[in-house]
Amino acid sequence: MAETSEQLFERAKGLIPGGVNSPVRAFQAVGGVPIFMTRGRGAYLWDCQSRQYIDYVGSWGPLILGHAHPPVIEAIQAAAACGTSFGTATAGELAMAEAIIERVPSVEMVRLVNSGTEATMTAVRLARAFTRRARIVKFAGCYHGHGDGFLVQAGSGAATLGVPTSPGVTAAAAADTLIARFNDIQSVRQWTDRYGQDIAAIIVEPVVGNAGVIPPTAGFLPELRRLADDRGIVLIFDEVMTGFRLAPGGAQELYNMRPDLTTLGKIIGGGMPIGAVGGRRDIMNLLAPAGPVYQAGTLSGNPVAVAAGLASLEALTGPVYEQIETRAGQLEAGLRDNLKKLGLAWQYQRVASMGCLFFTDKCVRDFDDALRCDTAAYGRYFHAMLERGIYLPPSQFEAFFLSAAHSEADIERTIAANYESLQVVARREVAKPPIVRRELGG
């Protein structure tokens, strides 16, 4: 008989720190034992006990076409059959660079790396080399990977030097990171007025996806562009999550923006590990071996990951984006209608195929607003939805992701489960453990 998630997790805790290889998987934000999954297909996941779920995590964003999308799997198999890694240049790397440059007008050159964290670290290093300055501005609630300079929070006061949020990050590393508030241009202007000649980069998620989903207010991104231009600061868009998801050219296409550097990941790997940094030719040419800024990686441009990503990008046609938008709109309308019927003031926020149900009665415009959410209520909601066969992010501060594989029936079932689950939360009941369900089909 197959081991249960409880048994697997108990075994994992003696082998892996916390029993997981990425913290959000541990379910600490919602309580309970993490679910161990064994396979996925289309919009569905199956756990180690063969329970089936409609999945709205999608491996945290890469699987915009759904799990095990046939052309992606075929591309992976064909590439792997030729070898998994060469440590040499390949034609596939050129094809990926061309595909990115064709779709993202601000990108003139590309460097492939192995993860989003590598991409953001490289982008900041490039910005510092280009400007010959040290400091960066980031926004509370935006996540740019686990590089030392990013694991920083604001100190007390509206504009203070950053302080480390993780042991192992030195005060010196944190001191070069200045924390501003998303959607508050004045909080950025305070830094540029004070340290304008020492700021190398402003790095931002153009749509915040690591504090729930927080869209930019009108004028915020253009004002960032103007501030950066006025002060000679490199503007970096972290589109690891939003790239090729919100539009063919990412958030910068959706909002008609042109950053100096862009970081990418997730979708360009089709579910395989990958990252990329791209942007202006004069900045990118500082990278070794063309220039003095060193960056290297044994598995950078891995042929299997590149093949999976190219197959994903090729499949993302206009009609596919339209289909995903239709489904995302149907889900939003259904969830909002449920809230209205039940007289609940909680907020659903969406940008294209990213969404989040915030357990607060106030529109969420920045990380401070997100922190006011009732996280205990979200935990009850998560488990109520899990019982009904819906797999959501195990944290209030993460995004839902829709894919092209979600059908109208999946959306309808999700809306019905949402209505029942909201009733559970409103009554402050504890959801029952997940129950065994038959497969939904396919």
Query: What CATH number is attached to the domain comprising 368?
Result: 3.90.1150.10
Same domain? 292 vs 341: no
Of the residues 290, 315, 340, the one at which a domain ends: 315
Q: What percent of the chain has pLDDT over 70?
A: 95
Q: What total of structural domains would you count in the chain? A: 2
**DSSP line for 304-319:** HHHHHHHHHHHH--HH
Asked if 276 and 156 sit in the same domain, the reply is yes
Do residues 301 and 321 share a domain? no
Indicate if 268 and 345 belong to the same structural domain: no
Residue 431 covered by a domain: no
**Is the residue at 365 inside a domain?**
yes
> What digits encode the pLDDT tens for the residues 276-328?
999 999 999 999 999 999 999 999 999 999 999 999 999 999 999 999 999 99
For the stretch 385-421, pLDDT in tens is 999 999 999 999 999 999 999 999 999 999 999 999 9
Q: Quick one: average pLDDT of 78-94?
A: 98
Same domain? 97 vs 149: yes
Q: Could you tell me the end-to-end alpha-carbon distance of the chain, in angstroms, rounded to an integer?
A: 25
The verdict on 42 and 140 lying in the same domain is no
Query: 257 and 197, same structural domain?
Result: yes
| pLDDT higher than 90, residue 174 | no
User: 178 lies in which domain range?
Assistant: 70-315
CA angle 63, 64, 70 (to 5 degrees): 70
- Alpha carbon 117 to chain centroid, angstroms: 12
Give yes or no for residue 435 having a pLDDT over 80: no
Give residue 433's pLDDT band: very low, low, confident or very high (50, 70, 90).
very low
* pLDDT, average across residues 29-57: 97
Residues with a catalytic annotation lie at: 143, 238, 266
Q: Are 393 and 284 part of one and the same domain?
A: no
Q: Would the pLDDT of 108 be above 60?
A: yes
Gap between the Cα atoms of 145 and 147, Å rounded: 6
Q: What is the mean pLDDT of residues 45-50?
A: 97
- State the CATH number of the domain containing residue 215: 3.40.640.10
Which pLDDT score, from 0 to 100, does residue 265 have? 98
435 occurs within a structural domain: no
* Structural domain ending residue among the three candidates 267, 290, 315: 315
Statement to judge: residues 305 and 337 lie in one domain? no
Q: Is 45 helix (H, G, I), strand (E, B) or coil?
A: strand
Ramachandran quadrant class, 148 (left: phi over 0; alpha: psi -120 to 50; beta: rest): alpha
At residue 163, the pLDDT reads 64
For residues 223 and 311, membership in a common domain is answered with: yes
pLDDT at 196 (0 to 100): 86
Instruction: Give domain status of residue 438, yes or no.
Output: no
Quickly tell me which residue has 């206009």 as its tokens. Answer: 318
Residue 84 lies in a domain: yes
Domain boundary at 315, 346, 362, which? 315
Which pLDDT score, from 0 to 100, does residue 170 have?
83
Q: Do residues 353 and 316 make contact, with C-beta atoms less than 8 angstroms apart?
A: no
Which of these, 215, 214, 423, 416, lies nearest to 334 by C-alpha position? 416
Average pLDDT over residues 112-140: 97
State the DSSP code for 216: P
| Per-residue pLDDT band at 442 (split at 50, 70, 90) | very low
The reply to whether 143 and 287 lie within a common domain is yes
The pLDDT-based confidence of 159 (bands split at 50, 70, 90) is very low
Give domain status of residue 243, yes or no.
yes
Are 79 and 160 in a shared domain? yes
**Residue 434: what pLDDT?**
43
Residue 351 inside a domain? The answer is yes
Look at residue 440 and tell me if it is in a domain.
no
